[in-house]
Amino acid sequence: MKELKQQKMTYRQAVREAMREAMIKDDRVFLMGEDVGLYGGCFNVSEGMLEEFGSERVIDTPLSESGFTGAGIGAAMGGMRPIVEIMTVNFSLLASDQIINTAAIQLYMSGGQFNVPLVIRMATGGGKQLAAQHSRSLEGWYAHIPGLKVLTPATVEDARGMLWPALEDPDPVLIFENTTLYNYEGYMPDNGSIVDISTAKVRRNGADVSIITYGIGLHKSLEAAGILAEEGIEAEVVDLRVLRPLDNETIFKSVSKTHRAVIVDEGWRSGGISAELSSRITEKLFYELDCPVERVCGAEVPAPYARHLEQASLPQPEKIAETIKQMGGLHG
């Protein structure tokens, strides 16, 4: 059997390659957003794509999230396959009416006549000293909305492999890319791969506790699992990958095995996706749990600018490990 070659690339390069491959494969696919063309994208994700595909397929838009998101919805309904880039999740609030009141409900409101096959990419999360207006994690808000699919790729493979199935989905898909992941490196098969955009994935097996997380939380949780392993505690790490719809089967299977659950989310604790996960686990697996579900979340403050304060406001591996060590019945 021929060995599959792998290449090393950054998360940023993986997203770019995913868009390039989609645009080569399907001439209905195009990219639009602020600074995606001449500037190469705010995070350099689309660098070089304007030169390769031209200004009719890599479109620099005015600073009007509502306007160009609405244009993307119209293009999708007209048969195109747009990739709309909103510079950060914070600015998506300016397009929330288009996303929530139009794209998400168009199929229902039209009696099943009109789909909106739209993909919206946006950067999310803190940790880059971009201050309060640019550092929120709002993907949990969008996971509240019926009619949307919400993806949170945490690895190079997922960053590259989730885009094509998202473009093939007949309904709107939001892809949240944590800003601190863009420089993260990983390996990809030369021919790429298609990723299932409906399931979570166990990234590390363990028998003592389930750490359930997504995005940058995956890498912090894997680091925490390494810390715990040195003390004889084996943590299983579940990467949600998809916040809507949640993969209950994978989550429940893991917690049924370990009988303990910790949810790691950079978003705020109150009313967040961690609360929903905790509730589902407690409702369905109450008698399987050896102790209450724990949560490690972002501090409920506007994101600080000062680096030491910003880092203190975000979940860190040491905090995750310490929370787990304090759970009842664990050996160490």
Provide the annotated active-site residues: 65, 134
* Rg from Cα positions in the chain: 20
Strand order across the 119-124 sheet: 58-60, 29-33, 81-88, 119-124, 173-178, 149-151, 242-244
* Nearest CA-CA partner of 13 in 154, 194, 185: 185
What is the spatial distance between Cα 70 and Cα 61, in angstroms, rounded to a whole number?
12
Q: Give the list of residues 6+ apart from residue 194 with CB closer than 8 angstroms, or none.
A: 161, 164, 165
Distance of CA 318 to the CA centre of its chain: 23
What is the spatial distance between Cα 176 and Cα 188, in angstroms, rounded to a whole number?
20
* Nearest CA-CA partner of 70 in 40, 32, 39: 32
**Residue 233: helix, strand or coil by DSSP?**
coil
Percent of residues in the chain assigned helix, strand, coil, to nearest 5: 40, 20, 40
- How far, CA to CA in Å, does 49 sit from each of 23, 321, 322? 10, 42, 45
The two tokens of residue 203 are 């990234």
**Residue 91: helix, strand or coil by DSSP?**
helix
What is the spatial distance between Cα 242 and Cα 196, in angstroms, rounded to a whole number?
10
